[in-house]
Amino acid sequence: MEEKIKLLQNQMTEELKQVTNSKTFFELQTKYLGKNGEITGLLRELGKASKEVRPILGKMTNALKIWAENEFAFEQKKISRKELEQRYENEKIDITLPSQKQKVGTLHPLTIIKNELVDVLTGLGFSMYDSPEIEKGVKVFSVRDFQNTLFVNDEMQLKTNLATGLIKSIEQKKLPLKVFMAGKAFNKNINTPNNAMFHKMEGLIIDKNLSMCDVYGILHNLAKELLGEKTKTRLRPTFFDFTKPSVQIDVQCSHCGGTGCNFCQNAGWIKILSGGMLQPTALQNGGIDSEIYKGIAFAVEIEKIAMLKYDIPNIDLFFENDIRFLKQFK
């Protein structure tokens, strides 16, 4: 048994030299020091030895166990350090490499114009309202046309304008009133053949002593705020169902300077704003005394503002989601 102990010690020494990773190390440790390991087996065999040699063999076996535990502990530290160094080597960052730049997104041009409108109107004391895109019919401002309205069912429709949200503010009867809405409207007969959705801003003022001078002042100032102080505007009479008199603001075409081109359809001017005095029946239907109060309604076509401001030739570009187009508006 004494020779077996010496042989086992030499065998462990050689096998420890071959260990290269934690997996093989723990397998070797279990082989010799585990519950059913070689050294544990030697300790069990001591009971078979005679009483005379048992103390000597026991001392030698315990010495082997202590030696093996120390050797394995030392080897474990060496392997752990080696593996940690290898991990650091694999995970190290080369700071000489160029950095990976994070791409920053940008707002859609229509959103930019909408936000500018919100800033201008809230600065003038207007309150912002909102309403669902699907409404149950229309009230007061009844401008629905069955030929171009998009219906969800017999009662529900996609709103053709933003007036339905403004009507709800009238029903609250908190006068005087200065409100606006900015959002989507839906119509099958608009100038974009590939898209039945467009973006508008509609505003409403109800107060005493209002006149067409107030209408022109609001529309003219909006055009200047959105397109710049040098913007040339003109006022033209027009017709709307729920305002009388009604007008629209044209701005001089930025492409041709008013001489006429394809962008302005050779007119030299482009309509971007419209408005007028609310008809008395619109106020009366909302429960407001039209003898005391007057109303002003106005609207902004957001796509046209964006096309003029950013020199965009085709309205369909807004809806194609081409990143080459959108990234220009950072």
Task: Dump pLDDT digits (tens) for 61-108.
Answer: 778 788 888 888 888 888 888 888 888 888 877 777 777 777 778 889
Helix, strand, coil share (%) of the chain residues, nearest 5: 45, 20, 35
Task: Dump pLDDT digits (tens) for 104-130.
Answer: 788 899 999 999 999 999 988 898 887
- Residues whose CB falls within 8 Å of the CB of residue 259, separated by 6 or more in sequence, listed in order: 268
Q: Would you say 268 and 260 are in contact if contact means Cβ atoms under 8 Å apart?
A: yes
- Nearest C-alpha neighbor of 31 from the set 46, 44, 16: 16
Q: How much is the pLDDT for 197?
A: 82
Task: Dump pLDDT digits (tens) for 299-323.
Answer: 988 988 898 888 888 888 888 888 8
Strands 294-301 and 197-207: antiparallel
Question: How far, in Å, are 21, 92, 286 from residue 141 at the CA level?
Answer: 81, 68, 10
Paired tokens of 90: 């694999």
CA distance 316 to 186: 15
Strands 233-238 and 243-252: antiparallel
CA distance 276 to 236: 11
DSSP class of residue 313 equals S
Q: Which residues pair with 80 in a beta bridge?
A: none
Q: How much is the pLDDT for 326?
A: 87
- Nearest C-alpha neighbor of 282 from the set 300, 294, 292: 294
CA distance 160 to 132: 12
Q: Is 27 exposed, middle or buried (0-12, 13-18, 19+ CB in 10 A)?
A: exposed
Q: Would you say 302 and 110 are in contact if contact means Cβ atoms under 8 Å apart?
A: yes
* pTM metric for this prediction: 0.62
Residue entry with tokens 């070689």: 38
Tell me the backbone φ, ψ of residue 127, rounded to 5 degrees.
-105, 145
CA distance 312 to 75: 73
Q: How much is the pLDDT for 47?
A: 65
Q: Tell me the chain's radius of gyration from C-alpha atoms.
A: 42
Q: Would you say 283 and 206 are in contact if contact means Cβ atoms under 8 Å apart?
A: yes
Q: How much is the pLDDT for 140?
A: 38
Task: Report residues of the chain scoring pLDDT below 50.
Answer: 139-141, 143
Q: How much is the pLDDT for 1?
A: 65
DSSP class of residue 162 equals S
CA distance 229 to 272: 16
Q: Give how far the C-alpha of residue 280 lies from the chain's centroid of Cα atoms, to the nearest Å.
A: 44
Q: Does domain 109-329 have CATH number 3.30.2130.30?
A: no
Q: How much is the pLDDT for 32?
A: 78
Q: Would you say 243 and 273 are in contact if contact means Cβ atoms under 8 Å apart?
A: no
Q: How much is the pLDDT for 136?
A: 72
CA distance 193 to 318: 13
Q: How much is the pLDDT for 42?
A: 74
